[in-house]
Chain A
Amino acid sequence: MARLRTGAAVRAATIKAAYTMKIVRNAEVMWREEDEARAQAYEGLSRGDDVSEVGTSILFSDGVMLSLNLLGTEIWKICDGKSIDRIVSELLPHFDADPDVLKKDTIRFIAELAQKGFIRYEE
């Protein structure tokens, strides 16, 4: 799952919101993909390697910097006002994962980003 290097307990409220509200990237966050790392991750995937520790994007806001792995980056990129169900349905064709497990993991990831202020929820 996405590698967040600043650990924090995920609160129930942010998880609940992720189930019910639209999920939006905080526009204040500066971010970019790291091309070489991304290529490296895809190469690893093609060999069947575990690439969960390869950071393929950098997020930076108010002095806090996060590195996301391939799956985390793909989730981040489609957080543009979609519901959690829509996000998971867009991820499924690209990742070999059980839908229920993917949804649960994605919600935990989004809730953690929300707790750090990188993600916002909208009605």
Chain B
Amino acid sequence: MKNETLLKAPLTINWAVTNRCNFKCRHCYSRTDPSEELSGTTLFACIEKIVKAGVLSINFGGGEPLLRKDLIEIAAFSSGKGLRVSMNSNGYLIDLGRAKSLKAAGFSKVGISLDSHVPDVHDGFRGIPGSHRKAVAALAYLRDAGIKTSISTVICKINHTAVQELIAFAEQHGVQQLNFHNFKCSGLGYSNKDELDLSPAEWKEFYLAAMKAKERVVEMEISLDDPIVASLGLNTNVKTLVKGSVCGKLSLNIKSNGDITPCGFIPIVTGNIVTDELREIWTNSPVLEKMRHKQPTGKCAACSDYAECLGGCSARALALTGDINNPDPHCWVP
């Protein structure tokens, strides 16, 4: 089944500029990745390439991107080239001075990982005592520096029944957006999936609560970003340009060594930004072609919601079944 829109280039690049991290998260997908880091000089050349290709925004991640001492320079270079610059961080290294530096470097938005409104629950999940307090402080520093903030919450066993509390917590801290990320079985997320991942019935219950809250909350954007939400059969009055997963259709991921993958959770390398041209990969990669033209298998073949969800998250299907065309293991449809 074909998606209706193929853009000339990704809108966004998610760029894991380092795999190093000061946290020990139980679901981490990058800490165990031994890939090397590109030098600053090489990164600058690669960023020029993606600008030339037509990319509009770059979102730095990792690892913890602030562990790169040249992150400010990299961000300033990117914003100077016209890219919209953002970052996902655990917030531990952000004080007011750092927040002002980020603003000066052109960061328009910074997402802070916070997995629970309860400090001990967050700290236990992230493996660092005091990390909740530091993350909350980082939100305030960023706001004071004039940077938009979001909270990124990985939904799993520790928080899936606390939708209202998580929303109230995010509202209390004045963030523009609350991102509920579905649990991915990559890296340690795969090793710990039996302990952390939800059952399909639990996912359905979570998304019903989250969608209900999303309708109610108007001052803050609540992002669910999971194609299987289409299977709830709710009329949201929102038509999307891209059906199913956005990976490989609106965005691409670049690893710390320059390898290009459809997303951070799909370990299939389609090229390398140091040696390859982004537009060539975007247009001609057989892997991306397959992701854009998924074929329904199993229960998806007869599902009336397939045209909207396109089998759900390709990364989960690949990780747990070995084929992106297989039904998303989180799907609750019988």
Chain A residues at the B interface, C-beta cutoff of 8 Å: 5-8, 30-32, 34-37, 55, 58, 60, 62-63, 65-67
Contact B84 A30 (CB under 8 A): yes
Distance between Cα atoms of A122 and B119 in the complex (Å): 45
New A-B contacts (5) at CB < 8 Å, excluding given A6-B239, A35-B8, A62-B221: A5-B241, A31-B56, A65-B11, A65-B250, A67-B5
Residues of A within 8 A of B57 (CB): 30
**Closest CB in chain B relative to A103 CB, distance in Å:** 27
B246 nearest CB neighbor, chain A only? A65
Does B284 sit within 8 A of A, measured CB to CB?
no
Residue from the list B7, B54, B221, B242 in contact with A63, Cβ < 8 A: B221
B222 nearest CB neighbor, chain A only? A63
Distance between Cα atoms of A102 and B92 in the complex (Å): 55
Residue from the list A7, A35, A60 in contact with B56, Cβ < 8 A: A60
Q: List 9 A-B contacts (CB under 8 A).
A: A5-B241, A6-B238, A30-B57, A31-B56, A37-B8, A58-B241, A62-B221, A65-B240, A67-B5
B55 nearest CB neighbor, chain A only? A32
Residues of A within 8 A of B223 (CB): 63
Considering the complex, which residues of chain B in the window 194-250 have a beta carbon less than 8 Å from any beta carbon of chain A?
221, 223, 237-242, 250
Question: Known: A30-B56, A60-B11, A62-B221. Contact between A55 and B238, CB under 8 A?
Answer: no
| 7 closest A-B pairs by CB | A30-B56, A5-B239, A65-B241, A34-B8, A67-B241, A6-B239, A30-B84
Residues of A within 8 A of B239 (CB): 5-7
Residues of A within 8 A of B54 (CB): 32
**Closest CB in chain B relative to A5 CB, distance in Å:** 5
B223 nearest CB neighbor, chain A only? A63
Residues of B within 8 A of A5 (CB): 239-241
Contact A36 B56 (CB under 8 A): no
Considering the complex, which residues of chain B in the window 1-58 have a beta carbon less than 8 Å from any beta carbon of chain A?
5, 7-8, 11, 54, 56-57
**Closest CB in chain B relative to A22 CB, distance in Å:** 25
B239 nearest CB neighbor, chain A only? A5
Contact A55 B5 (CB under 8 A): yes
Distance between Cα atoms of A58 and B7 in the complex (Å): 8
Residues of A within 8 A of B242 (CB): 65
Contact A34 B7 (CB under 8 A): yes
**Closest CB in chain A relative to B232 CB, distance in Å:** 18
Distance between Cα atoms of A6 and B240 in the complex (Å): 7
Residues of B within 8 A of A36 (CB): 8
**Closest CB in chain B relative to A70 CB, distance in Å:** 15
Distance between Cα atoms of A31 and B56 in the complex (Å): 7
Residues of A within 8 A of B84 (CB): 30
Residues of A within 8 A of B11 (CB): 30, 58, 60, 65
Considering the complex, which residues of chain B in the window 59-99 have a beta carbon less than 8 Å from any beta carbon of chain A?
84
Considering the complex, which residues of chain B in the window 168-186 have a beta carbon less than 8 Å from any beta carbon of chain A?
176-177
Residues of B within 8 A of A37 (CB): 8
A28 nearest CB neighbor, chain B only? B108
Distance between Cα atoms of A39 and B147 in the complex (Å): 38
**Closest CB in chain A relative to B149 CB, distance in Å:** 13
